[in-house]
Structure 1
Amino acid sequence: MATSAPAGAAVPQAKQSHAMVIGASSLGTIFEWYDFYLYGLLATVISAQFFSGVNETTGFIFALAAFAAGFAVRPFGALFFGRIGDLVGRKNTFLVTMGIMGLSTFIVGLLPNYASIGVAAPICLVVLRLLQGLALGGEYGGAATYVAEHAPEGKRGLFTSFIQTTATLGLFAALLVVIGVRTYLGEEAFLDWGWRVPFLISIILLGVSMWIRMQLAESPVFKEMKDAGKTSKAPLTEAFGKWPNLKIVIIALIGAVAGQAVVWYTGQFYALFFLEKTLKVDGATTNILIAIALACATPLFIFFGWLSDKIGRKPIIMAGCALAALTYFPLFGALTEAANPALARAQATAPVSVIAHGDDCSFQFDPVGKNKFDAQSCDVAKSYLAKASVSYTNVEAPAGTIASIKIGDTVIPGVDTKALTGDAKKAAITAFQDNTKAALTAVGYPAKADPEQINKPLVVLILFILATYVTMVYGPIAALLVELFPTRIRYTSMSLPYHIGNGWFGGFLPTTAFAMVAATGDIYYGLWYPVVVAIITLVAGILFLPETRNRALTD
């Protein structure tokens, strides 16, 4: 690992200015994140365009799964490009990753949809997401390492915090483009073909990004090491085949990055999906509210990076995990009341329950994508409520009971799926759904959030608090990871825990959380995922994670 700084030790300085290093590295990384997160912002639209051959709930989860596919391969990109970065240099490696990312994003905007080419459409989409994930796996470690290796002692937290803003700024840029295109074209045209525009204009960003990155020189720390003939001949073996370094990789993952990842994705992406999909706030309003909160919170990345140079990386990251674990449930409850007060009132005054025998209820997610959930009465009831994003509790009934839905004091008799077939069964299910919808409407369950009733300042405040936790855990993490590992294997060593944490723990969070909600009927149940992971990181970090702020980067 990197050693404590000896007296007089300093990072070798390049001739290019610090502003040039930070600006060029950050701008290029912002454009990569813009490319990557466009998909997340448009998950609902992409679900309709590429997964229209399945039921709506399953289609949305599939769209999130395709979103997560890009995260699944990020560790493999980290291994592949991290090795290249430690062998041949930082600069050229992230030029290659940028080219792969930009071209993959551009092609998404050209893909025919499901209606045009059938199942080939989602397959092609997933392939492009995999390429994006591989590219991003090699990008972040290179940019963070490059900036840190230019930073003077005592300012690495501040310098690398600019790289930490790039993920949020990339998301913010994508939000602005989506909002602008959506507003200019109108909702109908945007949903039909306008969603392609933000992907297509990425080719311009690719050109600008490549030009900016080509102006940079190689990292001075890496160049000095290479000139001295001290570069690693086998970065993967040194990083993960030797226990002293592998132990630090594991501690970094469990004791820092896993918690950082779930806090990041809960505070930005899950909050966005929760507003739009669960609370039924229209997409344009959701994007605007998220954008305002992110704009307000983004300077805090710099603040917490700077503060980590003063008091350390570890206490800030641990505090962010602790606050998230303690407050997520009340904050998302408050978000429901602020964004869709009619839904909050209905849940409080007329709670919904499904009365059924547990063995008659299927898990409300179909990996094949063709299950209509109409074989058993319990499935009919739960699939309708899941589609309507209505929270419910389960009430156990004797075996053989035909499932029913209780809404406040009203009981909606279920469908005897065993006794009916064909058109009679279809008609009975339709009647049951109509009766349930009428009963929900009668007690105040809204079909969508009323824009006039949304407490927008309060929603922005809650989103700002969630984003503040993000800045606490994310602002110092790059400096921490860079300082944990020696120069000769730094790119490889830091990239893997970062991308396993953010790619797997974080990237799969929306999919996992919504599947948990679909399985239980509780719209808040998915929050247990980030809460539990944040607590694990808090405990592991306190016990095992070292403080790194006074370490030198030269070996």
Structure 2
Amino acid sequence: MNPASASPSPDARTVRRAVAASAIGNATEWFDYGVYAVSVAYITHNFFPGPAGTLLALSTFAFSFLIRPLGGMVWGPLGDRFGRKRVLALTILLMAGATCAIGLLPTYSVLGIAAPVLLILLRAVQGFSTGGEYGGAATFMAEYAPDRRRGFFGSFLEFGTLAGFAFGSLIVLMGETFVGNDAMNDWGWRVPFLLAAPLGLIGLYLRSRLAETPVFQELEAAGKSEKSASMGLKDLVVKYWPSVLTLAGLVIALNVVNYTLLTYMPTYLETVAGLESQTVLTIMFIAQFVMMLVIPAAGALSDRVGRKPLWYASLIGLFVLAIPMFMLLGAGSWWPLVGFGILGLLYIPQLATISATFPAMFPAHVRYAGFAITYNVSTSLFGGTAPLYNQAGIEAFGNPLFPAFSMMAACVIGLVSVRFMRETSGASLRGTELPGTEAPAGSHQVGQLQQK
């Protein structure tokens, strides 16, 4: 594209608003997953009574991820054709509405089998909306951020992720502290789910005040957004399959670790390590809060040294220390906080660079679809199912280190994928061609259309 025809880069205030809108929407999405993760005991009690209740509750969590690829296939092409902003407005409404509705559901004691069926249906709605929400939010933020600071600004999307998890842990911890476990089992578990409604409205308000991304405006001006819906999926398979395979491997590594640490860990610490519920909630909140503080620094560092060195450091560190840290999780006292904290900090370099790395692997006219579909297929198969297969593995083999082995296997897949990943630090996201093979952060040739 001719630089002269490019739309002007957004000012700093607009970029900050775009970052806030993306992060708050993402926080709403992951607030739900965080609340569900730390409420598995309550969900089991109210919807899945019986000896297999915990596995059924985790299966319901995993089921929503099986719907996510469908959401990606629907929302992704729509986002490439009609705009990122419009699709994100719809997905956040669906997500917040379904989460709030869970807080209003009658329990098994009232409706019988209909109660868990309704819960599963609402989780399916959440999965469908999330299939467009996460890929769209990452694309939206990446296309607004300046090229040379995309890692820093993009890290705030995952700041929102951790904020959602941490806020969910904090709300449930406050409930346990002030009203007690019995009240939480009876009615208190509903409150965190109901809070999704105001969070979703705040995110929707912020998003509605923003214009479309400069990149999408250029696509519209060039008439290429109309082509995206019909040609996007075909282009992904025929022209961009190497990027699809590389991203799939990276997502496997990322999300096996993510859902083992941030979603399955409360269940693991209670059922395997034998910790009290309030202790588990405290550990989760402290570790997630510290991770929130660190993540912007990791994003900024990726702008200076590149994304690939951070991914290598994270994957190698997790592979080497997974078993020792999981041994600390069962050591009693506050050693689980140390083990979980170290694993969480080793994971941060991956988490901090998602929205700076993954959208840049596809050209603009198939970016939303490429990211959303590939990300959600890999996540549904290997990420969202992590709590279920980790718990099942422990019960089948009687080995509490099973989750460490699954993380190590995912890290091996990730290391192979990083080898084929383009270095996207400093590269421009404008235009309909893929970024160059290498784009050093100090290069004056890349990203020239969007430099400040």
Q: Distance in 1 between matches of 2:253 and 2:106?
A: 38
Task: Name which of 39, 42, 46 aligns with 1:45.
Answer: 42
Question: Does residue 430 of structure 2 align to residue 554 of structure 1?
Answer: yes
1:406-455 CA distance string (max 9 Å, x none): xxxxxxxxxxxxxxxxxxxxxxxxxxxxxxxxxxxxxxxxxxxxxxxx2x
Aligned length: 429
Name the stretch that deviates more: 317-326 or 85-94. Answer: 317-326
Please give the residue correspondences for 1:157-196 in structure 2 after superposition, counting only pairs within 5 Å: 157-196=151-190
CA drift of 1:11 comes to: 7.5
CA drift of 1:516 comes to: 0.8
Give the match for residue 243 of structure 1. Answer: 238
Q: Distance in 2 between matches of 1:550 and 1:18?
A: 17
Structure 1 residues 31 and 305: CA distance shift in structure 2, 3 A: same
Q: Distance in 1 between matches of 2:238 and 2:181?
A: 55
Please give the residue correspondences for 1:6-405 in structure 2 after superposition, counting only pairs within 5 Å: 12-14=8-10, 17-52=14-49, 54-55=50-51, 58-235=52-229, 237-241=231-235, 242-254=237-249, 256-337=250-331, 339=332
Q: Distance in 2 between matches of 1:11 and 1:305?
A: 26
Q: Which runs of 4+ in 1 moved over 6 A?
A: 6-11
Structure 1 residues 202 and 238: CA distance shift in structure 2, 3 A: closer
Three-state SS of the structure 2 residue aligned to 1:183 is helix
Q: Distance in 1 between matches of 2:424 and 2:407?
A: 26
Task: Name which of 490, 498, 510 aligns with 2:387.
Answer: 510
Structure 1 residues 508 and 11: CA distance shift in structure 2, 3 A: farther
Give the match for residue 419 of structure 1. Answer: none
Three-state SS of the structure 2 residue aligned to 1:22 is helix
Give the match for residue 438 of structure 2. Answer: none
Three-state SS of the structure 2 residue aligned to 1:323 is helix
Bigger radius of gyration, 1 or 2?
Answer: 1
Give the match for residue 375 of structure 2. Answer: 498
Query: 1:235 touches 1:492 (CA, 8 Å); kept in 2?
Result: no
Q: Distance in 1 between matches of 2:300 and 2:266?
A: 28
Query: 1:21 touches 1:147 (CA, 8 Å); kept in 2?
Result: yes
Question: Does residue 359 of structure 2 align to residue 482 of structure 1?
Answer: yes
1:313-367 CA distance string (max 9 Å, x none): 1221122122112211111111211x2xxxxxxxxxxxxxxxxxxxxxxxxxxxx
Query: 1:235 touches 1:488 (CA, 8 Å); kept in 2?
Result: no
Q: Distance in 1 between matches of 2:61 and 2:406?
A: 18
- Matched letter for residue 99 of structure 2: T
TM-score w.r.t. length of structure 2: 0.90
Query: 2:162 touches 2:291 (CA, 8 Å); kept in 1?
Result: no
CA drift of 1:8 comes to: 10
CA drift of 1:234 comes to: 4.0
- Matched letter for residue 488 of structure 1: H
Three-state SS of the structure 2 residue aligned to 1:155 is helix
Give the match for residue 449 of structure 2. Answer: none
Q: Distance in 2 between matches of 1:93 and 1:79?
A: 13
1:55-111 CA distance string (max 9 Å, x none): 1xx211111010111222112211111111101001111110011111111111111
Q: Distance in 2 between matches of 1:72 and 1:303?
A: 33
Name the stretch that deviates more: 21-30 or 487-496. Answer: 21-30
Question: Does residue 399 of structure 2 align to residue 525 of structure 1?
Answer: no
Q: Distance in 2 between matches of 1:552 and 1:252?
A: 19
- Matched letter for residue 421 of structure 2: L
- Matched letter for residue 32 of structure 1: E
Q: Distance in 2 between matches of 1:325 and 1:288?
A: 26
Query: 1:263 touches 1:473 (CA, 8 Å); kept in 2?
Result: no
Q: Percent identity between the aligned chains?
A: 32
Q: Distance in 2 between matches of 1:8 and 1:529?
A: 50
Higher helix share: 2
Structure 1 residues 514 and 38: CA distance shift in structure 2, 3 A: same
TM-score w.r.t. length of structure 1: 0.74
Three-state SS of the structure 1 residue aligned to 2:225 is coil
Please give the root-mean-square deviation of Cα atoms over the aligned residues, in Å: 2.0
CA drift of 1:274 comes to: 1.4
CA drift of 1:236 comes to: 6.5
CA drift of 1:525 comes to: 2.2
CA drift of 1:459 comes to: 2.9
Q: Distance in 1 between matches of 2:95 and 2:318?
A: 32
Structure 1 residues 516 and 9: CA distance shift in structure 2, 3 A: farther
1:137-165 CA distance string (max 9 Å, x none): 11111111111111112111111111122
Structure 1 residues 320 and 295: CA distance shift in structure 2, 3 A: same
Name the stretch that deviates more: 10-19 or 88-97. Answer: 10-19
Q: Distance in 1 between matches of 2:321 and 2:76?
A: 36
Query: 1:70 touches 1:129 (CA, 8 Å); kept in 2?
Result: yes
Query: 2:34 touches 2:263 (CA, 8 Å); kept in 1?
Result: no
Structure 1 residues 271 and 486: CA distance shift in structure 2, 3 A: same
CA drift of 1:204 comes to: 2.1
Q: Distance in 1 between matches of 2:231 and 2:278?
A: 48
Q: Distance in 2 between matches of 1:460 and 1:9?
A: 53
Q: Which structure 1 residue ranges, 5 or more long, are not aligned?
A: 340-453
Q: Which structure 2 residue ranges, 5 or more long, are not aligned?
A: 432-452
CA drift of 1:460 comes to: 2.3
